[in-house]
Structure 1
């Protein structure tokens, strides 16, 4: 499945965060830029590196009127553990049935150690204040993801 088209309205959704509270993408329209980063599995090394990088730039993101949500197929309880263990300061959203990942075209065939399986493909989407998709990041290193994100925001949205 392909990603939504740049310039189009980002597919809307409502998911529960790590505390079981509903978060709706449409609630940020007209208010904030939104970064949606899809990651495969909470509490794993690459996903932890990526999440901690975003945690560490919270002030920079706030200066750019930008909120971040991490989405994964993990249940709320696991997201809560991930938040607490790494003192994360942004919401993690539970996309357990991967319906949102499907809408964004980042659920698909993966290969690991010779095995093929369906799973979440690490991808980041940047949505502007009007709710339009502005950028898709699908090739990056987890340890520099946060820097790449800030650089893109500075060059294009701020």
Structure 2
């Protein structure tokens, strides 16, 4: 279990000078708390900036918002006490992809998001992800219990 204050890197990252030469990857585990979700969003935005997508660029803002929604869902709906969630960001051949993995296997996503009733204040996150991403989906985790929800953006 990770402390809320110190996420643990689980994969190496490359410098901005290597972007585009091969697959660039950033992977980190976070505590399944709102604080962990906020940190995940901020670190994805920072990594995108390092990879050449400035904080104020459309690409950075869009993928950061997608990450925020997926991390919030992992904390809210995929939380298992004492277990972290993981964020993986990759850049490869003109595509950026973010994956958020949680350990709750019995809570699978619907094949397509549906709009909640008008009087409900939440439940629109996956609709937002579907609208912003070029592609998205969910898969069971192969190496651990749970699921991975992913979204991809094609770079202009």
Does the alignment reach a TM-score above 0.5? Answer: no
| TM-score, L = length of structure 2 | 0.27
**Relative contact order higher in (CA < 8 Å, ≥ 6 apart):** 1
Which structure dedicates a bigger proportion of its chain to strand? 1
